[in-house]
Amino acid sequence: MSDAQALPAAAEKVARPPRRSRWREAYFGTPGNAVVTLISGAVILLLAKLAIGWLFVDAVFDGSSEDCKQSSGACWPFLAGKLRYMLFGFYPFEEQWRPLTALILFIGSCALSMVPRLWGRGLLLAWALVILPLLYVLMAGGVFGLTAVPTSKWGGLPLSFTLSFVGLAFALPLGIGLALARASELPVIRVLGTGFIEIVRGVPLISILFMAAVMLPLFMPDGVTIDKLLRAQVAIILFAAAYIAEVVRGGLQDVPKGQFEAGRSLGLHYWLVMFKIVLPQALKKVIPALVGLFIAFFQDTTLVTIIGLLDFLDTVRTALRDPEWQGIAVLEGYAFAAAVYFLFSAVMGAYSRFLERHFNTSYR
């Protein structure tokens, strides 16, 4: 018996060459591979040298815009001087602890909500009744002695997060509704759902934002004006909903039809079957894909700068146009913005891969 068990282990030992030769095989196995290693290594070293040289060696850490002009490296004083503007835009300077607190609260709550064990009704209620109202009060003020700050003064990172998070929160139920409409047995509902999804997916987001910015006021009765931020928000919700609907539809198609039929044959109503039987299975399958979509929407919120909202990318651009720094800190500003977007997107991407392993479902 011990022989039978020892045999596979021994075979594995033979099949696995020692570590050192595996290393040599991977990097210098064939002449062609050696060339690839050398070229890739050279590229990596060159990039590292450029990055370190720019970030630290040639960089200006202390000084004025004149010093930065003379130097070829990164201009840290620009980032230090403009950081608060880039993060919070035109939010009243002495009140900026509020968006900062809101930002920390938001990111902390998001980090907690990423733990699957905490998912449930309680978390949803906490968001709806505690976290979101708190965030809103912090940002908008007007109560508890906080000065009121109109949304036209909101800007920077909090605005980007507001647009993408509120967008997702409303787009998700709407998207699920659209997916159900598209899968409906009633022809009129199906055609309306399909039409909406396909039209929105067929045009660029910028055209929907234009519609919200330019066209929507024409459709409003006299005297009714809608806040610019809200209009952009509605555009993002509608846009996101169409894409979410397609992802959810994929999940719905993966649930065997027998599940639906079994539910109906038990005498359950359509909505009960959907909410208790079909959707839980379908949504579980598409959660990683939905997180992927969320990364895309987070990046897509940058488009609101084209219709004149001061999102994070826009505040960075405006900071670059400051006469004192104009033409000096272009790379610095965009690199900072890119680093912030990269950080959040990469974390979400890693989270999406974690969820995929967690649910052990493959998604399309």
The answer to whether 70 and 58 have CB atoms below 8 angstroms apart is no
With respect to another protein, which residue has the nearer C-beta, 85 or 138? Answer: 85
Residues touching another protein: how many (CB under 8 A)? Answer: 53
Q: Tell me which H or E stretch contains 253.
A: helix 228-254
With respect to another protein, which residue has the nearer C-beta, 203 or 283? Answer: 203
Residues 6+ apart with CB under 8 A from 122: none
Neighbours of 328 (CB within 10 A): 21
With respect to another protein, which residue has the nearer C-beta, 6 or 343? Answer: 343
Q: Does 142 interact with another protein (rule: CB under 8 A)?
A: no
Terminal Cα distance for the chain, rounded: 45
The stretch near another protein (CB under 8 A) out of 13-21, 67-75, 107-115, 186-194 is 186-194
Q: Please select the residue that binds another protein; options are 55, 110, 123, 206, rule is CB under 8 A.
A: 206
Q: Cβ of residue 187: shortest distance to another protein, in angstroms?
A: 7
**Residues 337, 340, 345: CA angle, nearest 5 degrees:** 120
Q: Please select the residue that binds another protein; options are 37, 71, 259, 361, rule is CB under 8 A.
A: 37
Q: Please select the residue that binds another protein; options are 300, 309, 319, 332, rule is CB under 8 A.
A: 300
The stretch near another protein (CB under 8 A) out of 27-35, 63-71, 91-99, 255-263 is 27-35
Tracing tokens 């109202």 back to the chain, one arrives at: 133
Q: Cβ of residue 364: shortest distance to another protein, in angstroms?
A: 9
Q: b/e string for 315-324 if b means 16 or more Cβ within 10 A?
A: bbbbbbebee
Q: Please select the residue that binds another protein; options are 7, 11, 21, 29, rule is CB under 8 A.
A: 29
Structure tokens at 200: 């929105």
Q: Please select the residue that binds another protein; options are 255, 303, 319, 355, rule is CB under 8 A.
A: 303
Measured distance CA(174)–CA(261) in Å, rounded: 25
Q: Cβ of residue 299: shortest distance to another protein, in angstroms?
A: 4
Measured distance CA(245)–CA(298) in Å, rounded: 18
CA 108 to chain centre: 16
With respect to another protein, which residue has the nearer C-beta, 101 or 345? Answer: 345
Q: Does 210 interact with another protein (rule: CB under 8 A)?
A: yes
In 3D space, the residue among 338, 295, 322 whose CA is nearest the CA of residue 81 turns out to be 322
Q: Please select the residue that binds another protein; options are 221, 223, 258, 323, rule is CB under 8 A.
A: 221
Phi, psi angles (nearest 5°) of residue 92: -45, 130
DSSP assignment letter at 147: P
Tell me the C-alpha to C-alpha distance, in Å, between residue 257 and each of 132, 189, 246, 247, 282: 38, 20, 18, 18, 12
With respect to another protein, which residue has the nearer C-beta, 205 or 232? Answer: 205
Q: Does 308 interact with another protein (rule: CB under 8 A)?
A: no
With respect to another protein, which residue has the nearer C-beta, 115 or 188? Answer: 188
Q: Please select the residue that binds another protein; options are 102, 135, 205, 232, rule is CB under 8 A.
A: 205
The stretch near another protein (CB under 8 A) out of 52-60, 233-241, 281-289, 313-321 is 313-321
Q: Please select the residue that binds another protein; options are 265, 272, 327, 358, rule is CB under 8 A.
A: 327
Measured distance CA(278)–CA(109) in Å, rounded: 29
Q: Does 331 interact with another protein (rule: CB under 8 A)?
A: yes
With respect to another protein, which residue has the nearer C-beta, 138 or 288? Answer: 288
Tracing tokens 């990097």 back to the chain, one arrives at: 27
Q: How many helices (H) and strands (E) does the chain have?
A: 18, 0
Q: Does 317 interact with another protein (rule: CB under 8 A)?
A: yes
Measured distance CA(139)–CA(132) in Å, rounded: 11
Question: Which residues here bind another protein, judged by CB under 8 A?
Answer: 26-27, 29, 33, 36-37, 40-41, 43-44, 185-189, 192, 199, 202-207, 210-211, 214-215, 218-222, 295, 299-300, 302-303, 305-306, 313, 317, 320, 327, 330-331, 334, 337-338, 341-342, 345-346, 349
